[in-house]
Amino acid sequence: MRYSFDELVAFSTQLFRAAGISGEHALVTARRLAEADLRGRAGHGLIRVAPYLRRIRAGGINARATPRIRRQSPTSAQVDGDNGLGQVVMTMAAELAITKAAGTGVAIVGTVNSNHAGAAGLYTEMAAEAGLVGLYLAVASANGMPPFGGTDPVLGPNPLSIAVPAAPGRPFLLDIATTAASHGAIKVARQRGEPLPVGWVADREGRPITDPDRADEGFLLPIGGHKGSGLTIAIGLLAGVLNGAAFGAGVVDHRLDDVTPTNTGQVFIAVRADVFRPSEPVPGDVTRHLDELRRAGGDTLRLPGDEAARLRAENTEKGVPVAADVISALNAEAARSGISDRLR
Amino acid sequence: MRYSFDELVAFSTQLFRAAGISGEHALVTARRLAEADLRGRAGHGLIRVAPYLRRIRAGGINARATPRIRRQSPTSAQVDGDNGLGQVVMTMAAELAITKAAGTGVAIVGTVNSNHAGAAGLYTEMAAEAGLVGLYLAVASANGMPPFGGTDPVLGPNPLSIAVPAAPGRPFLLDIATTAASHGAIKVARQRGEPLPVGWVADREGRPITDPDRADEGFLLPIGGHKGSGLTIAIGLLAGVLNGAAFGAGVVDHRLDDVTPTNTGQVFIAVRADVFRPSEPVPGDVTRHLDELRRAGGDTLRLPGDEAARLRAENTEKGVPVAADVISALNAEAARSGISDRLR
């Protein structure tokens, strides 16, 4: 079923408000989640509302959080999330970095005591829409990958997003994790009964696991072996350790533990696109180069951001598709909170 | 054979001077190349002296270059390399970024009209030694990889390096390319007569090429499929297009063309390690986390930077190993330039 973006945001906002979240924070979180669905990133969309509400009720997320700037300079800041919803904390951090960089050319903002913030590309897209490059790094909210050559899964699929302004509404937008497959992709394969490609999951002896029902017995594998493993660690050091946030064995699995604060750390760097040369040619040159790559690639090529932009346009017109079980979960939460509205 | 670091630098400096390079630029270039050998990165070491000299003589590199700052702010700069040696241009850019970031917290410096600058990790290591995080991105000096899903090899193995200060002399130091294998790794497999692992090289139909003698018929493959491909493009946009430097079809293959200026672009971001919280705990916390990963990994684990640090210490004590054919090439260059010294 498809729903209007505004209806999904309004409904989800109600649910968060009913759980004690302030109106402003409820709206920001609902928007970020619905924006993920709008772009076809359902894994970071409204499917997260129920687990977030569960964590809020259990006390693992601070419903009354007041994220604040703990330390700042004209080019930098750290936002202490006060264990509030990650979308609220990261939206504040990204906006702060974008505002600072618009003035100084480049800025870096980190977060501490934050939480899972959903689709990384939403934050870098904010930068691209303002004419800036956005770079987002975060410590994933669950581990599952050993450092390359090891067997203890103390690393996670840390996300990395880079957006570069191009044509309006069509930025270059890379949004990846450093593992070959996400937990979500494995779940999809399991639902479809399809074998996992070699390179996604391995057992303790490094042998491939291709049976999706046995995926939990193994580890996620990094892209490019030691390269992806090293990149994951680099992201963890920058987003986690520099901020004094969790990394490695200290990461709390937010899927299994609803109570312990995750102390999630994120980093956002914004750079004005005209930092090296006048702004006039830059977005046009980016578009020209991307078009060149599209021609070089032929029909099978999809550049980072193309599919999200296409789906955003299509779903804005036709409505945002949301899976029936997600709608059921949202309606169940409404019933639980004494809200009479239902998504139909 | 092993040689003293200082002897290698002095000898190579003489060769560059004989080719018309100023004393200072010759020394910087010779140092960067010998530092790569010192750390076991022979592919970016003195093996490059002869090809660089060939390009200088052919006019493809400007022997009389005066790299200068074209545009700058307290947090940013662009260095116009004047088509000089890449090591000279990037050393200037990295030092500038480090100096600026030491004052402002974060800084970004780009290059245009630069050239191949050798081992990426040398520049980020400079930042780590000064107590800063270093991030280096560059457009590779030769293409060989199509965008994922395409067949026209308009992308290259763009390098990415991230260094984070930890214990003195033992930074975390990631230095990777976005392809599964480098041209150098394929060359080594060919010399040893070993088959190429699946995932390194593929033909136009996407079928793996495992015969190292047939590698040139195929393409380099990105790490993680569309992920590595997207990362390569992101690096190219930031290091190339933002700077107004070459990217995509405009990249000149410096192995095949000694005459055309490459207009290489690089980007260096430096961030003070205490940008988010007081400096005292940060490098110690980084070291503690890396030690935790080393324990989690067991004997087979090597973290990024560990091997380079080990080799640097070993080769400083025992001398720097340089292959006999590289020494022969250096001696031949000396003979050609009427220099009476020889490496023995």
What pLDDT does residue B149 have? 85
- Do B286 and A241 make contact, defined as CB atoms within 8 angstroms? yes
Instruction: Kindly report, residue by residue over B8-18, the tens digit of the pLDDT.
Output: 999 999 999 99
Instruction: Kindly report, residue by residue over B126-183, the tens digit of the pLDDT.
Output: 999 999 999 999 999 999 999 998 888 999 999 999 999 998 888 999 999 999 988 7
Q: Give percent of chain A with pLDDT exceeding 90.
A: 86
pLDDT at B216 over 90: no
pLDDT at B124 over 90: yes
- Do A238 and B76 make contact, defined as CB atoms within 8 angstroms? no
Higher pLDDT, B72 or A193: B72
What pLDDT does residue A188 have? 80
Q: Tally A–B CB contacts below 8 A.
A: 240
Spell out which residues of chain A touch residue B132, defining contact as CB-CB under 8 Å.
none
What pLDDT does residue B141 have? 94
Question: A106-114 and A76-80 as β-strands: parallel, antiparallel, unpaired?
Answer: parallel
Confidence bin at B343 (pLDDT 50/70/90): very high
Average pLDDT for chain B: 95
Q: How many residues does chain B have?
A: 344
Spell out which residues of chain A touch residue B152, defining contact as CB-CB under 8 Å.
296-298
Per CATH, is A65-179+222-284 categorized as 3.30.1330.10? no
- Do B104 and A73 make contact, defined as CB atoms within 8 angstroms? yes
Residues A282 and B242 sit within 8 Å (Cβ to Cβ): yes
Nearest-by-Cβ selection for A73 from B78, B105, B110: B105
- Do A223 and B226 make contact, defined as CB atoms within 8 angstroms? no
Average pLDDT (A242-270) is: 96
What pLDDT does residue B280 have? 76
CA distance to A287, A308, B286, per residue, from B95 (Å)? 32, 39, 23
Chain A nearest-CA distance from B2, in A, is 29
Whether the CB of B134 is below 8 Å from some CB of chain A: the reply is: no
Alpha helices in B105-213 (DSSP H): 120-129, 183-192
pLDDT at B300 over 80: no
Residues A110 and A267 sit within 8 Å (Cβ to Cβ): yes
What pLDDT does residue A141 have? 94
Phi first, then psi: give them for residue B304, nearest 5 degrees. -55, 125
Instruction: Kindly report, residue by residue over B239-269, the tens digit of the pLDDT.
Output: 999 999 999 999 999 999 999 999 999 999 9
What pLDDT does residue A286 have? 96
Spell out which residues of chain B touch residue A167, defining contact as CB-CB under 8 Å.
none
CA distance B265 to B65: 16
Residue B300, classed as helix, strand or coil, is: coil
Spell out which residues of chain A touch residue B97, defining contact as CB-CB under 8 Å.
none
What pLDDT does residue A66 have? 98
CATH fit for domain A1-58+305-344, picks 3.60.10.10, 1.10.1530.10, 3.40.50.1980, 1.10.8.50: 1.10.1530.10
Spell out which residues of chain B touch residue A162, defining contact as CB-CB under 8 Å.
231, 234, 238
Residues B134 and B94 sit within 8 Å (Cβ to Cβ): yes
Chain A nearest-CA distance from B20, in A, is 30
Q: Is A212 left (phi over 0), alpha (psi -120 to 50) or beta?
A: alpha
What pLDDT does residue A252 have? 95
Chain A nearest-CA distance from B246, in A, is 10
DSSP A208: B
CA distance A154 to A26: 32
Whether the CB of B327 is below 8 Å from some CB of chain A: the reply is: no
Instruction: Kindly report, residue by residue over B75-103, the tens digit of the pLDDT.
Output: 999 999 999 999 999 999 999 999 999 99
Which of A7-16, A204-213, A335-344 is the least confident region? A204-213
* Per-domain boundaries in chain A: 1-58+305-344, 65-179+222-284
pLDDT at A297 over 90: no
Q: Which residues sit opposite A106 in a β-bridge?
A: A271
Nearest-by-Cβ selection for A248 from B180, B227, B292: B292
Confidence bin at B189 (pLDDT 50/70/90): confident
- Do A296 and B146 make contact, defined as CB atoms within 8 angstroms? yes
Domains B1-58+305-344 and B65-179+222-284 fall in the same CATH topology: no
B25-43 b/e (C-beta count within 10 Å ≥ 16 → b): bbbbbbbbbbbbbbbbbbb
Confidence bin at A48 (pLDDT 50/70/90): very high
The residue type at B159: P
What pLDDT does residue A61 have? 98
The residue type at B219: F
Q: Among B78, B106, B268, which would you mutate to test the A interface (most chain A Cβ atoms within 10 Å of its Cβ)?
A: B106
- Do A105 and B76 make contact, defined as CB atoms within 8 angstroms? yes
CB atoms within 10 A of CB B3: 20
Question: B264-272 and A68-73 as β-strands: parallel, antiparallel, unpaired?
Answer: unpaired
Question: B76-80 and B106-114 as β-strands: parallel, antiparallel, unpaired?
Answer: parallel
Q: Among A139, A182, A237, which would you mutate to test the B interface (most chain B Cβ atoms within 10 Å of its Cβ)?
A: A237
pLDDT at A298 over 80: no
How many helices (H) and strands (E) would you count in chain A?
10, 11
Smallest CA–CA distance from B109 into chain A, residue: A276
Smallest CA–CA distance from A232 into chain B, residue: B174
Smallest CA–CA distance from B77 into chain A, residue: A276
Chain B nearest-CA distance from A14, in A, is 35
User: Among positive and negative, which fits the CA dihedral A131, A135, A140, A146?
Assistant: positive
CA distance A276 to A78: 26
Residues 227-286 of B with CB under 8 A from A: 227-228, 230-231, 233-234, 236-238, 240-244, 247-249, 269, 271, 273, 275-277, 281-282, 285-286
- Do A277 and B105 make contact, defined as CB atoms within 8 angstroms? no
Spell out which residues of chain A touch residue B173, defining contact as CB-CB under 8 Å.
none
Confidence bin at A182 (pLDDT 50/70/90): confident
Average pLDDT (A75-96) is: 98
Which of A78-82, A280-284, A287-291, A306-310 is the least confident region? A280-284
What pLDDT does residue A205 have? 84
| A165 contact partners, CB below 8 Å, separation of at least 6 | A127, A128, A129, A131, A132, A133, A171, A273, A282, A283, A286
Phi first, then psi: give them for residue A118, nearest 5 degrees. 80, -145
Which of A59-68, A259-268, B142-151, B304-313 is the least confident region? B142-151
Average pLDDT for chain A: 95
Spell out which residues of chain A touch residue B133, defining contact as CB-CB under 8 Å.
238, 242
CA distance B330 to B279: 45
- Do B73 and A236 make contact, defined as CB atoms within 8 angstroms? no
pLDDT at A163 over 90: yes
Average pLDDT (A281-287) is: 92
CA distance A48 to A42: 9
Instruction: Kindly report, residue by residue over A103-148, the tens digit of the pLDDT.
Output: 999 999 999 999 999 999 999 999 999 999 999 999 999 999 999 9
